[in-house]
Amino acid sequence: MRILIVEDEEHLAALLSEVLVREGHSAETASDGRTALSRTLTEDFDLLVVDWMLPDLDGVQVIKRLRAADVGVPVLMLTARSQVEDRVEGLDAGADDYLPKPFAFPELLARVRALSRRPPEKETEETVLTAGDVTLDPRRHEVRRAGERIDLTAKEFALLATLMQRPEQVFTRSVLLDTVWGGTTGAYTNVVDLYVHYLRKKLDRDGEPSHIRTVHGTGYTFDPGPGS
């Protein structure tokens, strides 16, 4: 994968780069938010590793602007902050995963591997999924509801794809965590609830029941809706 590391601490950036290159990736670095933003808008990266605290634009601002520009590249956010609200803010901005500093390199690599996993499962690699009025096209990375396109981040897409592969089947939080987040250590089941919340915000319509139904005490299921 071609990875852009956005980190202003030179020593850490160099270390990260070395570790990722040793894993067979191509790693480049940017030391401030504006450079990272302009490079990501004009070049193709497979993954961004973004530190929260950066000179000029901070990591959250970078991610928000990328998502606003419809750039869906997976983002792993690094930060020394460990408060839950901060974590939510990062994920809310469109980061796909979050790693608190200090971290161990094997954990970073596990997160990178999880993010590099293609969302669709083997059997649906090329198959368009349809359930109710929602269609999901894994190849084009496209979701539509009643023909209207809905923009999702990589993790939102992977979560929806997992649920839509088996409509009406109940998925537990830990199964979803494992499937969508690759069972990375330190991932928290709350993240599933958070992403269901994001998906509903984008997918649902006012006054209509949600396609993603909460199964109390268990997890979630995709409900195709009445008549389906």
Q: Which residues bind Ca ion (CB under 5 A)?
A: 8, 51, 53
- The residue (of 54 and 143) whose beta carbon lies closer to Ca ion is 54
* Least spacing, CB of residue 69 vs Ca ion, in Å: 23
Residues 6 or more apart from 149 whose CB is under 8 A from it?
142, 143
Instruction: Write the single-letter amino acid at 76.
Output: L
| Separation between Cα atoms, residue 192 and residue 99, nearest integer Å | 16
Q: Could you give the strand order of the β-sheet that contains 75-79, starting from the edge strand earlier in sequence? A: 26-30, 2-6, 47-51, 75-79, 97-100
- The residue (of 108 and 180) whose beta carbon lies closer to Ca ion is 108
- The residue (of 19 and 170) whose beta carbon lies closer to Ca ion is 19
- The residue (of 40 and 179) whose beta carbon lies closer to Ca ion is 40
Instruction: Write the single-letter amino acid at 165.
Output: Q
Q: Is 177:159 a contact under the CB 8 Å cutoff?
A: no
* Least spacing, CB of residue 22 vs Ca ion, in Å: 22
